Amino acid sequence: MLSDKPDIASLSLDPVSHVLSRKVDASCTVSHDGINSLLENEHRHLRNIETRKASDEKTLSELMAPGPSSRPLRQIETVKSSECLEGMISPSIRSAGTPRAGLPSFEPHPMVGEAWENLRRSLVYFRGIPVGTIAALDPTQEALNYNQVFVRDFVPSALAFLMNGESEVVKNFLLKALRLQAWEKRIDCFTLGEGAMPASFKVLHDPVRKSDTMAADFGESAIGRVAPVDSGFWWIIMLRAYTKSTGDHSLADMPDCQRGMRLILSLCLAEGFDTFPTLLCADGCSMIDRRMAIYGYPIEIQALFFMALKCAKLMLKPEAGGKAFIERIDKRLYALSYHIRSYFWLDFQQLNNIYRYKTEEYSHTAVNKFNVIPDSIPDWVFDFMPMRGGYFIGNVSPARMDFRWFLLGNCVAVLSSLATPEQSSAIMDLIEARWMDLVGEMPLKIVYPALEGHEWNIVTGCDPKNTRWSYHNGGSWPVLIWLLTAACIKTGRPQIARKALELVESRLSKDGWPEYYDGKLGRYVGKQARKFQTWSISGYLVAKMMMEDPSHLGMISLEEDKKMMKRYLSRSASWTF
Ligand code: GLC
């Protein structure tokens, strides 16, 4: 949907002024707080490892060993809180430098330098300051809206910059998006909720007046006219990553940022006719921004919702109504994790239970609560499900279970601790057991399996971009490597990420950093894939930097809430083995 929108105006990028050199920063990217939780992580990883293969054991302890990659603590930057957002935006870093090199155990891969160069080239400037990265810089194809800064696409760029100690562009982006949130958003005669964040924005340069203006898309220009539900969640997650990485709480503490968070929360915590704690969504409201039958309660959004709630809880201040939101967040987190852990979870045992479900049950004693008809279980799931392993299925709503695997939702569930530690390990087991299906020759399948024939016809509305094993319909997206790598490190399975990274390194740069690959094994460069797709580039860098220094994981990972765990253990154990 969003991707096929006609261009508003071309964005003139001056290749020279847009190349920023990498700041070589030897300071640490975690606070004391972060170190404590990392130590905790390390202990947990080491416990997990005991049950795992010897090769993994060795790799993890190598990775976690204090050594050349442990760096001194970053000094906490202090920034004054201000109502004036423009005044907060930092000028760009224009220091000279090269990618951090010389860590003895990690000889930088030649692709790393090339990736940094490309990432810097993708920076977009507003009145001289960097505010984001362009979606793709492919000179051979029509830009459409790939010349815009997408909120979701900027996430791996933001993480790469933070991991490299370059936080200014991230702060600028967060403040810019906040400004855009304040715009009035209309589709025909209808006004969108105040809290909605744009899917993307664009800087329009007027060479005559020498002025820059902004244009944003909240769904009102997108084909299909769908608002991006994920943008606000990613914004909160990035704000927390920024805070965690820099130790600078003043940005999140600003009244404007607090208000921005509350507005997003008002949208997703609003009361209505819901009987489930999950968030009801339209098709096309996330990374999969075209009709792909993710409407209802897609795992991609539910996992981001959960993570954003947890991040907001860490940053919200009690003033100005914040306290009431913190209480609502607590209740929702509890209900949401109970619901998803219980009803979205599928493993061999649970599949067998569903297969034997009775239907038409009534009252509180019903086992088959959503009246799922066993005949609706697709044949492929029976072969796909390994004896060891499991995952959160794509969607659960009345009489409908979408059994498809979605990588983003499952990895975000691991990172946010929406998945229990057992479920997280089972997700990793599944990836290993179904390697050819989920990773193939080029990581990673966005969704598995593809819709074909009549089903494709009905579900996608005959979408020629989403033919089987292409694009959103079973295509392979290199950007997802950063999510897999983070989940692997969190679960103590770095060997899985290493194998996937080897595949990426064998082709991605040679193929010109495509947006996606096609085919059952992801062997072919995507039919309509853009080259020099920024998040393919930054996703690779983030994965590499996390492998090099697993302490970066703290930016994007959240620990399990022990109090909440105790509450459920007394209620149900249906998701445990
Ligand atoms: C496509 C993708 C979307 C992405 C955009 C820009 O529309 O589906 O997820 O944000 O391109 O790269």
DSSP code per residue over 153-193: HHHHHHHHHHHTT--HHHHHHHHHHHHHHTS--EETTEEPP
Q: Which atom of ligand 1 is nearest to the CA of 136?
A: 12
Question: In 10 A of CB 570, how many CB atoms?
Answer: 7
Model pLDDT, residue 286: 96
Cβ burial, residue 575 (10 Å; 0-12/13-18/19+) = buried
Query: Which residues touch 47 (CB under 8 Å, ≥6 apart)?
Result: none
Model pLDDT, residue 573: 47
Q: Give residue ranges with CB within 6 A of ligand 1.
A: 2-3, 135, 146, 150, 152-153, 287, 289
Q: Which atom of ligand 1 is nearest to the CA of 471?
A: 8
Best of 287, 290, 538 for a ligand 1 pocket test (most atoms within 8 Å of beta carbon): 287
Q: How far apart are CA 202 and CA 147, in angstroms?
A: 7
* Amino acid present at 273: F
Q: Which two tokens stand for residue 529?
A: 């894939």
**559 CA to middle of ligand 1, Å?**
29
Tell whether the model's pLDDT for residue 39 goes beyond 70.
no
Mean pLDDT of all residues in 380-390: 98
Q: How far apart are CA 375 and CA 194, in angstroms?
A: 43
Q: How far apart are CA 539 and CA 112, in angstroms?
A: 11
Mean pLDDT of all residues in 118-124: 97
What is the biggest distance separating any 2 CA atoms in the chain, rounded to whole angstroms?
71
In this structure, the residue with its CA closest to atom 9 of ligand 1 is 287
Q: How far apart are CA 61 and CA 87, in angstroms?
A: 45
pLDDT range class, residue 92, cuts 50, 70, 90: very low
pLDDT range class, residue 139, cuts 50, 70, 90: confident
Per the model's pLDDT, the better-predicted residue between 190 and 487 turns out to be: 487
Q: How far apart are CA 242 and CA 235, in angstroms?
A: 10
pLDDT range class, residue 89, cuts 50, 70, 90: low
In this structure, the residue with its CA closest to atom 3 of ligand 1 is 287
Three-class secondary structure assignment of 364-405:
CCCCCCCCCCHHHCCHHHHHHCCCCCEEECCEEECCEEECCE
Question: Which strand ranges, in their side-by-side order, compose the sheet holding 211-217?
Answer: 149-150, 200-206, 211-217
Best of 7, 153, 408 for a ligand 1 pocket test (most atoms within 8 Å of beta carbon): 153
Model pLDDT, residue 196: 95
Question: In 10 A of CB 432, how many CB atoms?
Answer: 17
Tell whether the model's pLDDT for residue 471 goes beyond 60.
yes
For residue 493, CA distances in Å to 193, 425, 481, 487 come to: 41, 9, 14, 8
Q: List pLDDT tens digits, range 140-165.
A: 888 888 999 999 999 999 999 999 99
CB burial readout 26-37, b (16+ within 10 A) else e: eebbbbeebeeb
Q: Which atom of ligand 1 is nearest to the CA of 515?
A: 12
**Percentage of the chain modeled with pLDDT above 90:** 73
In this structure, the residue with its CA closest to atom 6 of ligand 1 is 135
Place of tokens 């392993």: 389
In this structure, the residue with its CA closest to atom 2 of ligand 1 is 287
Q: List pLDDT tens digits, range 347-380.
A: 999 999 999 999 999 888 999 999 999 999 999 9
In this structure, the residue with its CA closest to atom 4 of ligand 1 is 287
Q: Decide if 300 contacts 294 (C-beta within 8 A).
A: yes
Mean pLDDT of all residues in 501-522: 98
Q: List pLDDT tens digits, range 300-333.
A: 999 999 999 999 999 999 999 999 999 999 999 9
Q: Decide if 509 contacts 114 (C-beta within 8 A).
A: yes
Query: Which residues touch 354 (CB under 8 Å, ≥6 apart)?
Result: 346, 368, 372, 374, 377, 401
**290 CA to middle of ligand 1, Å?**
9
pLDDT range class, residue 381, cuts 50, 70, 90: very high
pTM: 0.83
For the chain, the first-to-last Cα distance in angstroms comes to 40
Q: Which atom of ligand 1 is nearest to the CA of 290?
A: 8
Q: Which atom of ligand 1 is nearest to the CA of 152?
A: 10
Q: How far apart are CA 289 and CA 281, in angstroms?
A: 12
**370 CA to middle of ligand 1, Å?**
33
- Ramachandran category for residue 522: left, alpha or beta (phi over 0 → left; psi -120 to 50 → alpha): left
Query: Which residues touch 345 (CB under 8 Å, ≥6 apart)?
Result: 390, 391, 392, 393, 423, 575
**200 CA to middle of ligand 1, Å?**
10
**42 CA to middle of ligand 1, Å?**
35
**231 CA to middle of ligand 1, Å?**
12
Per the model's pLDDT, the better-predicted residue between 461 and 49 turns out to be: 461
Q: How far apart are CA 502 and CA 442, in angstroms?
A: 9
Bridge partners for 396 per DSSP: 401
Tell whether the model's pLDDT for residue 336 goes beyond 50.
yes
Q: List pLDDT tens digits, range 524-570.
A: 999 999 999 999 999 999 999 999 999 999 999 999 887 776 776 66
Bridge partners for 205 per DSSP: 212
Nearest Cα to 340, choosing from 373, 300, 308, 288?
Answer: 300
Model pLDDT, residue 266: 97
**569 CA to middle of ligand 1, Å?**
39
Mean pLDDT of all residues in 75-80: 28
Q: How far apart are CA 343 and CA 362, in angstroms?
A: 18
Q: Which two tokens stand for residue 112?
A: 């790393």
Q: Decide if 24 contacts 242 (C-beta within 8 A).
A: no
Model pLDDT, residue 187: 87
Mean pLDDT of all residues in 398-412: 97
**439 CA to middle of ligand 1, Å?**
20
DSSP letter assigned to residue 273: S
In this structure, the residue with its CA closest to atom 7 of ligand 1 is 3
Q: How far apart are CA 10 and CA 22, in angstroms?
A: 27
**3 CA to middle of ligand 1, Å?**
6
Best of 1, 2, 148 for a ligand 1 pocket test (most atoms within 8 Å of beta carbon): 2
Model pLDDT, residue 569: 62
Best of 5, 133, 148, 150 for a ligand 1 pocket test (most atoms within 8 Å of beta carbon): 150
Q: Which two tokens stand for residue 261?
A: 């968070």
**576 CA to middle of ligand 1, Å?**
36
Number of alpha helices (DSSP H) and beta strands (DSSP E) in the chain: 21, 15
In this structure, the residue with its CA closest to atom 12 of ligand 1 is 135
Q: Decide if 330 contacts 313 (C-beta within 8 A).
A: yes
Mean pLDDT of all residues in 131-141: 93
Q: Which atom of ligand 1 is nearest to the CA of 535?
A: 12
**287 CA to middle of ligand 1, Å?**
6
Tell whether the model's pLDDT for residue 28 goes beyond 80.
no
Model pLDDT, residue 17: 32
Q: How far apart are CA 514 and CA 534, in angstroms?
A: 9
Q: Which atom of ligand 1 is nearest to the CA of 150?
A: 10
Tell whether the model's pLDDT for residue 97 goes beyond 70.
no
